[in-house]
Structure 1
């Protein structure tokens, strides 16, 4: 009996290990042509002061990444990063304009206006790390068109996501 159980235990262990492996792999691109062939048209293209361009690939409202690829004049990709990575979220500071925030984080998921507080809040889905959390939102609170503060909201599996 024990000999027949061992293969089952090994298979279950391998399958559980596979569950912890990221399912989304973002390849490193060397040229704009490779990027466009693989990912298609970007969500937006940003012209940078140094003559480079940044191609934005947002996955909002349902995804939790926003890949930015900076391309030089020769079509080489000189930088690529996820704009919704924790270290990039920390770049949003009080006093920034909506345009500055949009440039840092990419296309947002939703915006809401709260009449009583006078705040307009933009949110982005970000990676959820906790078990039981359906999704996590990074929120930027604007008052009079500039950032007042940021916050994080957790939507649990038993809540209706549209109720928030």
Structure 2
């Protein structure tokens, strides 16, 4: 009985693992095949200048993380970061291109073009702040480059409590 309970707890904990906190992945040891076996095919694969690759595991539109798994030219794990963390979002600066933003934040939740301002605004669902309301990180592009970033609260509609 105890063994069955232990096995169940282990399975549940493994199911909650994320690439950045997964003890099964070890820097300098784990290979790309190990990552794919645990987390499936990435949403996108970004080639790196040194011959390595970055695997993108974005949880958009509903999730709040985008794990970027960095692999060396030899296919070994170099590191993992959450592009949607506060540190990742802080890297977005005016003048960046959409590709540069995508390589940091991953696949966006939505894109909306505002005709009057001429801005194309991409957004990502992010961890809520202390208010408890849902949050979005917005990147405003004009003429193909970032002009600014903003954050917005998501207020739930009482008629549709599960939607946003």
1:37/1:122 CA distance change after superposition, 3 Å: same
TM-score (structure 2 length as normaliser): 0.78
Contact 2:95 2:146 in 1 (8 A): yes
Q: Rg bigger for which structure?
A: 1
TM-score (structure 1 length as normaliser): 0.78
- Give the alignment of 1:67-78 within 5 angstroms: 67-78=67-78
Gaps of 5+ in 2: 1-14
Partner of residue 142, structure 1: 141
Answering whether residue 35 of structure 2 is matched by residue 35 of structure 1, we say yes
Gaps of 5+ in 1: 1-22
Partner of residue 154, structure 2: 155
- Give the alignment of 1:1-164 within 5 angstroms: 24-26=16-18, 27-28=22-23, 29-30=25-26, 31=30, 32-133=32-133, 135-158=134-157
Q: CA RMSD in A?
A: 2.1
Contact 2:50 2:73 in 1 (8 A): no
Contact 1:132 1:156 in 2 (8 A): no
